[in-house]
Amino acid sequence: MPAIDPSHIPANLRPVMEAMCATGAQLSRVIARGPLAGKLGAGVGENSDGDQQKALDVMADEMFEAALKGTGVKYYASEEQESVLTLDGDGTYALATDPLDGSSNIDVNVTIGTIFSVFAATGDAESSFLRPASEQICAGYIAYGPQTLLAVTFGAGTQLYVLDPDSGAFVLAEEKMALPVAAKEFSINSSNRRHWTGPVLAYVEENEAGKDGAKGKDMNFRWVGSLVAETHRILTRGGTFLYPSDGRPKYENGRLRMVYEVAPMAFLVEQAGGKATDGVRPILSLTAGELHERRPFVFGSAEEVDRIADLHG
């Protein structure tokens, strides 16, 4: 049986999606075993950008790399790898991935995930990824939580699949997700409040004022610390997410990586009717200058994202 219902997947991308979903299902079983599968949240070193790697980060990276060989993926770029790997010399795709997003939540049984993005491969490895985000041909995430879910876009809407534990396959649950227009929630790491820029602080204070302020309605605050979990909540019930630049050293451009996290999530969100910016400029109009480049990231319900841009002047 195929790892995913192929009926809504472009024929040329089916081998790639089969490999991603089969590996996602396998990884889901490992995660479900928790400590019975070993110390998945144990630190095992640092990646090329200085972030601590967990055992599950490395395991997931190795699993996806192995599974994608022979699927037409020429270039493989991972948040856990310093440089681009060549998988299939005659392949036609370039796939970028954060193999295990939210790894700080491994030990506390909170939703974590895999994020991926696909471009058409060019002649040069890095240049296949350092191009306008609008040139993505596919983007998605697999969320490992109470349900294991796949959200994916091929440029014609955002589809939602659920992993059926009985069949072991991802089954289409929603052909076109629609991000709710009305927002009742916002998500930002409030522990960084003292470092925020004026526009970000103004937006948060506007939300905190609730029905007594300019917004005229109460807003709920949310923060999970897992981009996949935050994105799925917002795609499902609306709201906004902010990981802005701030005043701390090395946070001038935020902390999320353009190639592995920001660009694919922006593609998914916009295909579901939302918006995604760096605070002002649409993410899909931007190009990463280097493989592990970081960007500020704001996404969610369109009117809220526009309001944040307005506050930036």
Residue ranges of the annotated binding site for Mg(2+) are 79, 98, 100-101, 261
DSSP H or E run through 192: none
Looking at the DSSP bridge assignments, the partners of residue 55 are none
Q: Are 115 and 261 within 8 A, CB to CB?
A: yes
3-state SS class at 159: strand
Task: Yes or no: say if 180 and 237 are a contact pair by the CB < 8 Å rule.
Answer: yes
Q: What element of type H or E holds 171?
A: strand 169-174
Residue closest to 57 by CA, chosen among 111, 112, 118: 112
Amino acid at 11: A
Alpha-carbon gap, residue 160 to 66, rounded angstroms: 25
Count of CA atoms in the C-beta half-sphere (13 A) of 88: 18
Give binding residues as ranges: 79, 98, 100-104, 189, 261
* Type of residue found at 185: E
- Residue ranges of the annotated binding site for substrate are 101-104, 189
How far, in Å, CA of 136 to CA of 139, rounded? 7
The CA R_g of the chain, rounded to the nearest whole Å, is 19
Measured CA to CA in angstroms, residue 159 lies from 93, 100, 226, 234 at distances of 21, 21, 21, 15
* Local structure of 256: helix, strand or coil: strand
Instruction: Give the bridge partners for 148, in sequence order.
Output: 144
Q: Is the torsion defined by CA of 123, 129, 132, 138 positive or negative?
A: positive
Which secondary-structure segment (H or E) carries 115?
strand 112-120
